[in-house]
Amino acid sequence: MKLASGLFILAFGLAAVQPAAAEDLFVTQYKNDPSGAVYGVALEKGFFKKHGVDITGIISGAGGGASVRGAMATAIGYGDVSPAPAIAAIEQGQDIKITNITSTSLALVQIVMPNSPIKTAKDLKGKKIGISNPKSLGEMMSVLVMEKAGLKQGDTQMVALGSLSGALTAMENGAVDSTAIPVILYRMRGGDKKYRALISGKELPLLPPQLGIATGKAMKEHPDKIKAIQAARIEAAKFIYEHTDEAIKILTKIYAPLPPEQVAAMVKDLVAVKFWSDGPIDVKLLENTIKAMKYVKMLEKDVDVKSLYTSAFLPANLQK
């Protein structure tokens, strides 16, 4: 019995000093959208381990409801996803909460071809706008652009083309007149040399491109991991702002084959508008998202915004 007890104590002691299991973090469109840049920097600089969570890789989600399900299915139970499918999932009864807003403006640009007669958003009346899919972020952005320009639903025709690349190709071939695409794709496909920006990211209505979500199980069983991820992400955002040139070197590897000069230009543009957030819940941004979701029939009823989120995993100074 004494031997057995000794072995039990030894085994318990060894288990107690074992490092936490390595885990992957789920980030929607990780290499195709700049929202996830902070996670790449945090991984490269060791900020996750510094704050007590062993994140060793990042899983890139495709977007939409699939990304919400993907984040929920990870061992850590946390992910960075698009806001609309997260809100829709909560309204459908999924056991998740929004824990932080990770970026506070859209890294999108509404574009036309250089020779297009469309000069302002008002000129979109009677025109065709290319989108990837119905109820997508692109469609929601386009309807908010229309509203801001004084246009009504029905004043433009939304044409679903299956992908953002498909929307671009359709515009190039004259099948649609305009489209809204992420700034990364815009630069990859030629940027200002090939297209004309009708409305820049600075002028677009404010929607959060991505936000953090956590499952009820994760919030209950390992709240410290969620807090650690938030702390690492905040430190990474600060690093990008304060050490932009070094951050660009890190992000150039992540966003390859986008040329280094294009990555640098994109990051500097986003630094200028403070794209990456410390994470506080901006209720107005969630309300804008809900408004856009109603426009595209993704929601049919009002939503109690306070039921969507918790600030409990943010640093104390960001919880209000």
* Domain ranges within the chain, ordered by starting residue: 21-105+208-318, 108-199
Fold (topology level) of 21-105+208-318: D-Maltodextrin-Binding Protein; domain 2 (3.40.190)
User: Cβ distance 27 to 80 under 8 Å?
Assistant: yes
Whether residue 13 has pLDDT greater than 50: no
- To the question of pTM greater than 0.95 for the whole model, the response is no
CA distances from 125 to 28, 128, 177 (A): 32, 9, 11
- How far CA 218 is from CA of 22, 63, 194, 301, in Å, comes to 16, 21, 46, 29
Cβ-proximal residues to 277 (8 Å cutoff; 6+ apart), any chain: 100, 101, 102, 103, 104, 237
What element of type H or E holds 211? strand 211-215
Sheet of strand 211-215: strand arrangement: 55-61, 23-28, 78-81, 211-215, 96-101
Is 70 exceeded by the pLDDT of residue 312? Answer: yes
Residue 175 DSSP code: S
Judged against a pLDDT cut of 90, whether residue 104 lies above it is answered with no
Backbone angles phi, psi at 93, to 5 degrees: 100, 5
pLDDT at 174: 96
Q: What percent of the chain has pLDDT over 70?
A: 92
pLDDT band (50, 70, 90) for residue 3: very low
pLDDT level of residue 109 (50, 70, 90 thresholds) = confident
Segment 249-267 shows an average pLDDT of: 92
Query: What confidence category does residue 182 fall into, taking pLDDT thresholds of 50, 70 and 90?
Result: confident
The two tokens of residue 88 are 């829709």
User: What confidence score (pLDDT) does residue 19 get?
Assistant: 39
CA distance 69 to 95: 11
Collapse the DSSP code of 101 into the 3-class scheme (helix H, G, I; strand E, B; otherwise coil) and give the result.
strand
| Model confidence at 287: pLDDT above 60 | yes
Task: Name which of 49-58, 86-95, 160-169 the model is least confident about.
Answer: 160-169
Q: What's the whole-number mean pLDDT along residues 181-203?
A: 83
- The phi-psi region of residue 196 (left if phi > 0; otherwise alpha if psi is between -120 and 50; otherwise beta) is beta
The average pLDDT across 87-93 equals: 94
φ/ψ bin of 42: left (φ > 0), alpha (ψ from -120 to 50), beta (otherwise): alpha
Quote the crossing angle between the two packed helices 244-254 and 223-242, to the nearest 10°: 110
Task: Please tell me the distance from the alpha carbon of residue 297 to that of residue 311, in angstroms, as a whole number.
Answer: 28
More confident of the two residues 191 and 216: 216
Identical topology for domains 21-105+208-318 and 108-199: yes
Q: Which whole-number Å values give the CA distances from 19 to 25, 58, 119, 138, in the listed order? A: 18, 19, 58, 43
Judge residue 173's burial from the number of C-beta atoms within 10 Å of its C-beta, 0-12 exposed, 13-18 middle, 19 or more buried.
exposed
What's the whole-number mean pLDDT along residues 63-87?
90
Does the pLDDT at position 5 exceed 70? no
Summary mean pLDDT of the chain = 87
- Give the pLDDT mean for 61-86: 89
Per-residue model confidence (pLDDT) at position 77: 96
Average pLDDT of span 175-198: 88
Report the pLDDT value the prediction gives residue 250, as an integer from 0 to 100. 97
Classify domain 108-199 by CATH number.
3.40.190.10
Tell whether the model's pLDDT for residue 17 goes beyond 50: no
| Residues 6+ positions from 143 with CB-CB distance below 8 Å | 153, 292, 295, 296
**Residue closest to 276 by CA, chosen among 39, 27, 31, 24:** 39
Q: For residue 242, name the pLDDT band (cuts at 50, 70, 90).
A: very high
Tokens of 284: 């107005």
Tokens of 116: 């297009």
In the chain, what percentage of residues exceed pLDDT 90? 57
pLDDT for 141-152, tens place per residue? 888 888 888 998
Residue 167, pLDDT > 80, answer yes
